[in-house]
Amino acid sequence: MFGSVLIANRGEIACRVIKTARRMGLRTIAVYSDADAQSPHVKLADTAIRIGPAPALESYLVAENILDAAMATGAEAIHPGYGFLSENASFAQAVIDSGLVWIGPKPFAITAMGLKDQAKARMVAAGVTVTPGYMGDDQCEARLKAEADQIGYPVLIKAVAGGGGKGMRKVARAEDFLAALTSCQREAAASFGDARVLLEVYVSRPRHIEVQVFGDSHGNIVHLYERDCSLQRRHQKVIEEAPAPGIDAKTRAAICDAAIRAAKAVAYEGAGTVEFIADASQGLRADRIWFMEMNTRLQVEHPVTEAVTGLDLVEWQLRVAAGEPLPLSQDQISLSGHAIEARLYAENPATGFLPSIGPLERFNLPTHLRIDSGVIEGGEISPFYDPMIAKLIAHAPTRKAAALRLADGCAQIEVYPVATNAAFLARTLADPDFLAGEIDTRFIEDRLESLAATQTPIDQAWNAAAKALARPADPSPWQALKGFRLNAAPHYAVKLSCGTETRLVEVDPALPCSEKAWLFGDQYVVFEAGQAYAFGPPDPQSLSGDAQGDGILRAPMPGKIVARPVKAGDTVHKGDPIITLEAMKMEHVLTAPFDGLVESLSAGLGDQVVEGFVLARLTAHT
Catalytically active residues are 297
Taking Cα atoms as reference points, which of 14, 16, 39 lies closest to residue 29?
14
Buried b (16+ CB within 10 A) or exposed e, 157-179: bbbbbbbbbbbbbbbeeeeebee
| Residue among 562, 568, 565 at smallest CA distance from 582 | 562
Tally Cβ neighbours within 10 Å of residue 152: 10
* DSSP category for residue 253: H
In angstroms, the CA 563 to CA 589 distance is: 9
Check if the beta carbon of residue 49 is closer than 8 Å to that of residue 69: yes
What whole-number distance in Å separates Cα of residue 607 and Cα of residue 622? 32
The DSSP annotation for 382-432 comes to -SSS-SEEEEEEEEESSHHHHHHHHHHHHHT-EEEES--SHHHHHHHHT-H
Strand partners, 494: 505
The candidate with the shortest Cα–Cα distance to 242, out of 253, 230, 232, is 230
Contact indicator for 7, 81 with CB cutoff of 8 Å: yes
| DSSP designation for 326 | P
Could you give the residue ranges of the DSSP H alpha helices within 233-301? 249-264
Q: Is 283 left (phi over 0), alpha (psi -120 to 50) or beta?
A: left
Q: How many residues does the chain have?
A: 622
**CA-CA distance, 368 to 405, in Å (whole number)?**
9
Q: Say if residue 23 is exposed, middle or buried (CB neighbours under 10 Å; 0-12, 13-18, 19+).
A: exposed
Burial grade of 352 (CB within 10 A; 0-12, 13-18, 19 or more): middle
Give whole-number Cα distances, 539 to 32, 358, 465, 505, 597, in Å: 42, 23, 17, 16, 32
The secondary structure of 65-102 as a DSSP string is HHHHHHHHHT-SEEE--SSTTTT-HHHHHHHHHTTPEE
C-alpha to C-alpha distance for 63 and 70, rounded to whole angstroms:
11
